[in-house]
Amino acid sequence: MNLPIKPKSLPMSFRYGDEQLAFERVKRPLATASILIKVHPDCRIVVSAPENANNEDVLCAVKKRGRWIYQQLREFRKQLEHVRPRQYISGETHYYLGKQYLLKVNEAPDQGQGVKLLRGKLEVTVRNKDADRVQEQLSRWYKARAKEVFSRRLDAVLEQALWVADKPPLRILSMKTQWGSCSPKGRITLNPHLVKAPRECIDYVILHELCHIAEHNHSERFYRLMRQVMPEWEKTKERLDGMAKLFIT
């Protein structure tokens, strides 16, 4: 079962002032009657609602929070005005394990190429300051770190996953639409971009896939397992969803 970077959703919208605001309705798996509204840093409005809630009730709940939603959007839009596409030059910020690091590009024609994390900076050494070369070196570095970090975190969370008898095989694969997946034979595949996220977000994705070893579908049994091993998993998922656009670059 795949864990998508962006959850399946139903597009809806409502009018606030002179603006028609679009939002995504997603299924809230917990057994609760409440409707959860979240405005993400990339200005996505996501409404988590129980499956049995009709669209009229969801729309009514969203309209009641219209002013708050608009204020959140206004703040995030101001922040996004200063966000530019990555150019892979010195001074940019890049993420690793949930923290931001300044990028420093060193041009050294006679030295080996590579990346080092030194004194709060990601230092990339290349033979010439070509953006594609810098991006390539960073991608290799992230994949190498991902392999090490994910293996350690898998060992750690396996102590909670008592239904898993042996450590499952782990594969690192770049994906645009998924954080991870679990094959029918129990092989776990994780997206190297996930290593840019905080540790608890990495643990959440790994636990999600480990739960699929016991229950391949998103059944009530699956969510019971998730609640047992990570009671606050929904909040962690929301945090990861909100930062996805910062990591998948």
pLDDT of res. 65 = 94
Instruction: Name the burial class of residue 83, with classes exposed (0-12), middle (13-18) and buried (19+) by CB atoms within 10 angstroms of its CB.
Output: exposed
Domain 93-247, CATH class in plain words: alpha beta
What are the sequence ranges of the domains in the chain? 2-80, 93-247
Helix or strand holding residue 49 (H, E):
strand 45-49
Task: Report, as ranges of residue numbers, the positions in the chain whose pLDDT lies below 70.
Answer: 1-2, 6-8, 29-33, 79-84, 249
pTM for the structure as a whole = 0.73
Give 52-72 as a DSSP string.
TS-HHHHHHHHHHTHHHHHHH
Predicted pLDDT at 246: 79
Over residues 103-153, the pLDDT tens digits come to 999 998 888 899 999 888 999 999 988 899 999 999 999 999 999 999 999
pLDDT (0 to 100) of residue 220: 85
Report the distance separating Cα 219 and Cα 19, nearest Å. 38
Q: What is the pLDDT of residue 121?
A: 92
- The residues that bridge with 117 in the sheet, in sequence order, are 122
Q: CA 177 to CA 189: how far, in whole Å?
A: 13
